[in-house]
Structure 1
Amino acid sequence: MKQGLGTQLRHLIELLDSAVATSYAEAGLDYRPRFTPVIRALAAKEPRTIGDIATAAGITQPAATQTVALMLKKDLLNSVSSAADGRQRLIGLSDRGRALLPQLHRCWAATTAAAASLDADLPYPLSEVLAQAIAALEQQPFGARIRDARERTHNKEPT
Structure 2
Amino acid sequence: MEKLGTRLRHLIDLLDSAVASTYTEAGLRYRPRYTPIVRALTESEPLTINQIAKLAGITQPAATQTIALMVKDDIVKVNSESKDGRHKFVRFTDHGRAMLPLLTAHWDATTEAIKELESELPHSLTEIIKAATSRLEEKPFAARLKEAHQKKIGR
- Could you say whether these structures have the same fold, taking a TM-score greater than 0.5 normalized by the shorter chain as the test? yes
- The CA deviation at 1:104 is 0.2
Find the structure with the greater CA-based Rg.
1
SS in 1 for 2:89: strand
The reply on whether 1:5 has 2:4 as its aligned counterpart is yes
- The CA deviation at 1:84 is 5.8
* Counterparts of 2:149 and 2:142, CA distance in 1: 10
Give structure 2 stretches of 5+ with no counterpart.
none
The reply on whether 1:153 has 2:147 as its aligned counterpart is no
User: For residue 134 of structure 1, what is the amino acid of its counterpart?
Assistant: T
Give the corresponding residue for 2:70: 71
Give the corresponding residue for 1:108: 107
Provide the alpha-carbon RMSD of the alignment.
1.1
- The CA deviation at 1:150 is 1.2
Give the corresponding residue for 2:58: 59
Query: What is the percent sequence identity of the aligned residues?
Result: 52
Q: How many aligned positions are there? A: 154
- The CA deviation at 1:122 is 0.6
- The CA deviation at 1:85 is 4.7
User: For residue 14 of structure 1, what is the amino acid of its counterpart?
Assistant: D
Give the corresponding residue for 1:139: 138
Give structure 1 stretches of 5+ with no counterpart.
none
* Counterparts of 2:81 and 2:100, CA distance in 1: 25
SS in 2 for 1:80: strand
* Counterparts of 2:82 and 2:147, CA distance in 1: 49
* Counterparts of 1:85 and 1:76, CA distance in 2: 26
* CA pair 85-48 structure 1, distance change in 2 beyond 3 A: farther
User: For residue 47 of structure 2, what is the amino acid of its counterpart?
Assistant: R
Give the corresponding residue for 1:20: 19
Give the corresponding residue for 2:89: 90
User: For residue 98 of structure 1, what is the amino acid of its counterpart?
Assistant: R
SS in 2 for 1:56: helix
User: For residue 127 of structure 1, what is the amino acid of its counterpart?
Assistant: T
**Partner deviation per Cα, 1:5-48 (whole Å, 9 max, x = no partner):** 11111111100000000111122211110111111100110100
* Counterparts of 1:99 and 1:72, CA distance in 2: 15
The reply on whether 1:119 has 2:115 as its aligned counterpart is no
